[in-house]
A = this chain, B = another copy of it.
């Protein structure tokens, strides 16, 4: 049998109102009474029932987090940014994964409705704004890495374009004239932006570009491996390979090694994300650094703010900057 506020009240010889006041600091209570109630409550192991409380409070103290079926470091780092931030403000997080399927995501959002005070939605493939339209107006939402037009929603994106642009510019500066690119799915927003950055940098520098230098992978090591194998067989062979994420870059390193090509002497390699493992690759991997944890943290802060303001605030679209991390896989510090 679950013990309720009434049990505590009876035991303490007071009314439920007084016990409630103690647990919410919501009114004056005699110091002696408060202590008695508190000690009885812990003895009875009483904890207010969340459901009952939020029924009347209209607050669940829970943040919904909707993530795509991503794998690897990205997932854990985002959560690592979100959870502590939420906890500090007294919120729990309800996590849900959904494949990038419109129906599935809508189902997930519907299921969250009424169970959360706000939502962080990460859906790099689908037009998230359309999905979010299913939510009640009073449920604050922050869009993470989403395709979003207009200023109706708070949103946070990575500077994918800028990061890719900078990396290609760097490679050009090192004298590379044939730079290949391993892209992600074109439906994926991050992937598309990185590809756009690659193309723009080549175009602006009036550098050569060829269709066959662009290969498409799916962010996994194996797809990077395959793409790099194909690139290595081209002639003339590109002198640099830029992969749209580190996992694919690592797959590429593996493929080049098997093709008996030296990195960076024969082919330079660069990745995107700068996962912790990047620096331990052989050779250490040059990459575009993304502060994934900070992404989660900032999204959470924005969401908490929206909740405070009852969603009546000016929405803000923000972009998280990226930085180049130059290591030996593209020649490193000691120019070679």
The residues of A with any CB-CB pair to B shorter than 8 Å are 2, 45, 47-52, 54-55, 58, 60, 62, 69-77, 79-80, 83-84, 87, 92-97, 110-115, 134, 136, 138, 220-221, 225, 247, 250-251, 253-254, 257, 276-277, 279-282, 284
Please determine whether A50 and B114 come into contact, CB atoms closer than 8 angstroms: yes
Give the oligomeric copy count.
2
Provide the residues of chain B in CB contact with A84, threshold 8 Å.
97
Please determine whether A94 and B92 come into contact, CB atoms closer than 8 angstroms: yes
C-alpha gap A277/B225 in the complex (Å): 12
Known: A79-B75, A114-B50. A96 touches B93 (CB 8 A): yes
Please determine whether A83 and B55 come into contact, CB atoms closer than 8 angstroms: no
Provide the residues of chain B in CB contact with A284, threshold 8 Å.
254
C-alpha gap A25/B93 in the complex (Å): 30
Which chain B residue has the least Cβ–Cβ distance from A111? B92
Known: A280-B253, A282-B257. A92 touches B115 (CB 8 A): yes
C-alpha gap A136/B44 in the complex (Å): 11
Which chain B residue has the least Cβ–Cβ distance from A283? B257
- Shortest beta-carbon contacts, A-B, top 9: A75-B76, A282-B282, A254-B280, A51-B55, A50-B115, A51-B54, A51-B51, A95-B95, A50-B114
Provide the residues of chain B in CB contact with A51, threshold 8 Å.
50-52, 54-55, 60, 114-115
Q: How far is the CB of A5 from chain B (nearest CB, A)?
A: 12
Provide the residues of chain B in CB contact with A114, threshold 8 Å.
47-51
Provide the residues of chain B in CB contact with A70, threshold 8 Å.
76
Please determine whether A113 and B47 come into contact, CB atoms closer than 8 angstroms: yes
Please determine whether A80 and B76 come into contact, CB atoms closer than 8 angstroms: no
Which chain B residue has the least Cβ–Cβ distance from A246? B277
C-alpha gap A277/B110 in the complex (Å): 36
C-alpha gap A105/B55 in the complex (Å): 27
C-alpha gap A128/B277 in the complex (Å): 31
